Structure 1
Amino acid sequence: MIGYEGEKKMKHVVAFDVSMGKSTMVIYDRYGQCEFEGEIEHTYPAFKTLNETLQSLTVQDGQAPEIVFEATGIYSKALERFFQKEGYAYCRINPLEANLQMASMRRQKTDKSDAHELAKSHFRVDREKTYQEDDYYHQMRALTRYYDELDHEITHLFNRMHAILQLSFPELERLFCTRSALFLNIVQLYPHPDEVLACSKTVIRNRLKANTRKNLSLARAEEKGMALLEAAKDSYPAISKDDVRCEQVRDFANRIASLKEKKEQLVQQMVELSEERTEYQILISFPGIGETTAVRLIGEIGDIRRFKNHKQLNAYVGIDIMRYQSGNTFYKDKINKRGNNRLRKILFYMVQTMITLRKKTQNHIVDYYDKLKTQPQRKPHKVASIACVNKFLKVAFHLITHNITYDYETAFTCS
Structure 2
Amino acid sequence: MKKIDYLSTLFVGIDIGSRTNVVSAIDFHQEYFIKMKSIPNAQGGAELLEDMIADVLNRHRDFHYVIIGLESTGFYGVHIANYLSSCNKLAPFSTHVYCLNPKEVANYKASFNSLDKNDGIDSFVIADFARVGRINIQPWRGSQYLALQRLTRHRLHITECIAREKTYLLNNIFLKFSEFAMLKNEEHPFSNKYGATAEALLTEFMTNEDLVNSSTEELIEFISRKSRNRISNPAETASLIQAAARNSYILDKCLYEPLTVSISSSFNCISAFKKELKAIDVAILRTVKGLNPTEYLILNSIPGIGKVYSAAILAEIGSIKCFRNNNSLAKYCGIVWKENQSGNFKADNTPMSKAGNRYLRYYIIEATNSVIRNCPEYKAFYDKKYAEVTTHQHKRALALTSRKFLRMLFGLLDKSQLYSLDKSR
> Mapping of 1:323-342 within 5 angstroms?
323-332=339-348, 334=350, 335-342=352-359
Specify which of 401, 404, 409 is matched with residue 414 of structure 2.
401
Specify which of 284, 295, 306 is matched with residue 300 of structure 2.
284
Provide the C-alpha distance between the structure 2 equivalents of 1:53 and 1:255, rounded to a whole number of angstroms: 50
Specify which of 157, 162, 179 is matched with residue 154 of structure 1.
162
Q: CA deviation at 1:138?
A: 2.4
Aligned AA (2:258) = V
Aligned AA (2:347) = Y
Aligned AA (2:270) = I
Aligned AA (1:110) = N
1:18 matched to 2:16? The reply is: yes
Provide the C-alpha distance between the structure 2 equivalents of 1:117 and 1:163, rounded to a whole number of angstroms: 48
Q: Return the index of the structure with the highest Cα Rg.
A: 1
Provide the C-alpha distance between the structure 2 equivalents of 1:208 and 1:98, rounded to a whole number of angstroms: 60
Question: Could you tell me which residue of structure 2 aligns to residue 84 of structure 1?
Answer: 85
Aligned AA (1:278) = T
Provide the C-alpha distance between the structure 2 equivalents of 1:325 and 1:117, rounded to a whole number of angstroms: 31
Aligned AA (2:38) = E
Aligned AA (1:98) = V
Change (3 A) 1:64 1:49: farther
Change (3 A) 1:352 1:298: same
1:259 matched to 2:279? The reply is: no
- Where in structure 1 are there 5+ consecutive unaligned residues? 1-8
Provide the C-alpha distance between the structure 2 equivalents of 1:294 and 1:123, rounded to a whole number of angstroms: 34
Provide the C-alpha distance between the structure 1 equivalents of 2:34 and 2:307, rounded to a whole number of angstroms: 53
Provide the C-alpha distance between the structure 2 equivalents of 1:371 and 1:150, rounded to a whole number of angstroms: 33
1:324·1:331 contact (CA, 8 Å) conserved in 2?
yes
Q: CA deviation at 1:395?
A: 1.0
Q: When the two structures are superposed, what TM-score results if normalisation uses the length of structure 2?
A: 0.74
Change (3 A) 1:38 1:85: same
1:94 matched to 2:101? The reply is: yes
Change (3 A) 1:271 1:130: closer
Aligned AA (1:338) = A
Q: CA deviation at 1:188?
A: 4.2
Specify which of 269, 285, 289 is matched with residue 271 of structure 1.
285
User: More displaced, 125-134 or 73-82?
Assistant: 125-134
1:17·1:24 contact (CA, 8 Å) conserved in 2?
yes
> Mapping of 1:1-400 within 5 angstroms?
12-28=10-26, 32-34=31-33, 36-62=35-61, 66-74=66-74, 75-87=76-88, 88=90, 89-92=95-98, 93-102=100-109, 103-104=111-112, 106-119=114-127, 125=133, 131-170=139-178, 174-176=188-190, 177-192=192-207, 217=228, 219-220=229-230, 231=241, 235=245, 238-240=251-253, 243-274=257-288, 277-332=293-348, 334=350, 335-355=352-372, 357=373, 362-369=375-382, 378=388, 381-382=393-394, 383-400=396-413
Change (3 A) 1:303 1:142: farther
Specify which of 398, 404, 411 is matched with residue 424 of structure 2.
411
Aligned AA (2:15) = D
- Where in structure 2 are there 5+ consecutive unaligned residues? 1-6, 182-187
User: What CA deviation, in whole Å up to 9, does each residue of 1:289-337 have, x standing for no partner?
Assistant: 2345434444554544422211011112223232232233322362433
Change (3 A) 1:379 1:271: farther
Change (3 A) 1:392 1:239: same
> What's the Cα RMSD here?
4.0
Change (3 A) 1:301 1:67: closer
SS at match of 2:253: coil
Q: CA deviation at 1:77?
A: 1.9
Provide the C-alpha distance between the structure 2 equivalents of 1:14 and 1:354, rounded to a whole number of angstroms: 42
Q: CA deviation at 1:392?
A: 1.1
Q: CA deviation at 1:30?
A: 8.0
Aligned AA (2:408) = V
Question: Could you tell me which residue of structure 2 aligns to residue 6 of structure 1?
Answer: none
Provide the C-alpha distance between the structure 1 equivalents of 2:10 and 2:362, rounded to a whole number of angstroms: 43
Change (3 A) 1:290 1:179: farther
Aligned AA (1:59) = N
Provide the C-alpha distance between the structure 2 equivalents of 1:61 and 1:15, rounded to a whole number of angstroms: 18
User: More displaced, 161-170 or 248-257?
Assistant: 161-170
Change (3 A) 1:346 1:282: same
Aligned AA (2:146) = H
Q: CA deviation at 1:407?
A: 0.5
Aligned AA (1:141) = Q
User: Among the aligned pairs, what percent are the same residue?
Assistant: 18
1:16·1:26 contact (CA, 8 Å) conserved in 2?
yes
Q: CA deviation at 1:222?
A: 11
Change (3 A) 1:134 1:195: farther
Provide the C-alpha distance between the structure 1 equivalents of 2:367 and 2:27, rounded to a whole number of angstroms: 51
Q: CA deviation at 1:408?
A: 0.2
Provide the C-alpha distance between the structure 1 equivalents of 2:177 and 2:329, rounded to a whole number of angstroms: 48
SS at match of 1:319: coil
Q: CA deviation at 1:41?
A: 0.7
Provide the C-alpha distance between the structure 2 equivalents of 1:373 and 1:292, rounded to a whole number of angstroms: 28
1:14·1:68 contact (CA, 8 Å) conserved in 2?
yes
Provide the C-alpha distance between the structure 2 equivalents of 1:66 and 1:101, rounded to a whole number of angstroms: 21
